[in-house]
Amino acid sequence: MKPPPKTELVKEAPVEVERSNEPPVVARLVVEIRSDGSRTIARGAVEDVASGQRTTLEARGDSPLQLALQLARVLTQLPRLGARSAVRGLLGRRRDKPDKR
């Protein structure tokens, strides 16, 4: 059995990622999920990369579905951050329509 690849925390994206055709990072979301089998709590942070603004978030649920719905609700009700606009833009964007830029 092959061992899992080593993970590491880096301050900058690797050169091959920077040169790829991927769009630039506009926001970061980090979430920690804890569960004891009867309840689940998700805590995390959101960062707007352009402005550097950060905020925390927390969601609770008795089931994975409840937690996912609560987390989605929290994400759409973030304080006035560019990340909030980015999240709403991603949620509202349809893939079948051409991007107007």
Q: pLDDT 10s digit of each residue in the chain, 101 long?
A: 667 667 666 677 667 666 677 787 888 889 999 998 888 999 998 888 878 888 888 999 998 889 999 988 888 887 655 555 556 555 655 555 555 54
Name the CATH architecture for the domain at 24-92: 2-Layer Sandwich (3.30)
pLDDT of 96 reads 54
Query: 77 near 43, Cβ under 8 Å?
Result: no
User: Six-digit token pair at 49?
Assistant: 């990369």
| 90 vs 87: CA distance, rounded Å | 5
What does pTM read for this prediction?
Answer: 0.56
User: Six-digit token pair at 56?
Assistant: 């925390």
Sheet holding 40-48, edge to edge: 27-35, 40-48, 54-61
| 86 vs 100: CA distance, rounded Å | 16
pLDDT of 32 reads 92
